[in-house]
Copies of this chain bind each other. A is one copy, B any other.
Amino acid sequence: MTTVARENGTVLDLKFDANGLITAVAVDADNGEVLMVAFMNREALERTLQTRKATYWSRSRSKFWVKGEESGHVQEVQDILIDCDQDCVLLKVRQKGVACHTGRRSCFYRSVLAMSGPESLKIIAEPLVDTKAVYASKK
């Protein structure tokens, strides 16, 4: 497919990186807040489309990762958008509980103030749930 067709057309033609992955950004379907960024391979996107439950590819564990399958903090997918060059998808989700494994609603809970130093980041959101307890209760 040509670049023009990929960018202007109506045919899905994913542009994977060297590892067969695309970037996936999950945002709250109601207020647009960015919740997390992860990765998908083709099958993860297909499973997400079919089940409407956000399913990523875990690079660290080399396996499919149905978001919330352990914690219960699932993401019900309302819509999936794709960007111009088809190497990134945007998931509009209904987030049950919290998106971040630290217990925050969003993984983006720190503001960057400087490139180095003991206070180069400023914490702007605190955990809403005790995720240690959440994961322990599932074991």
Contact = CB atoms under 8 A, between A and B. Distances in A.
Interface residues of A, number: 50
Nearest to A89: B112
Interface of A: 7-12, 23, 25, 27, 31-34, 36-37, 42, 45-46, 49, 79-85, 88-90, 100-102, 104, 107-112, 114-124
B123 A108 contact: no
A114 to B, nearest CB: 7
Given A11-B121, A32-B33, A84 B111 contact: no
The 6 closest A-B pairs by CB, nearest first: A32-B32, A81-B108, A83-B107, A12-B120, A80-B112, A37-B88
Contacts of A79: 111
Given A12-B112, A108-B90, A100 B120 contact: no
Nearest to A88: B37
Contacts of A12: 112, 114-117, 120-121
A8 to B, nearest CB: 7
A108 B11 CA distance: 14
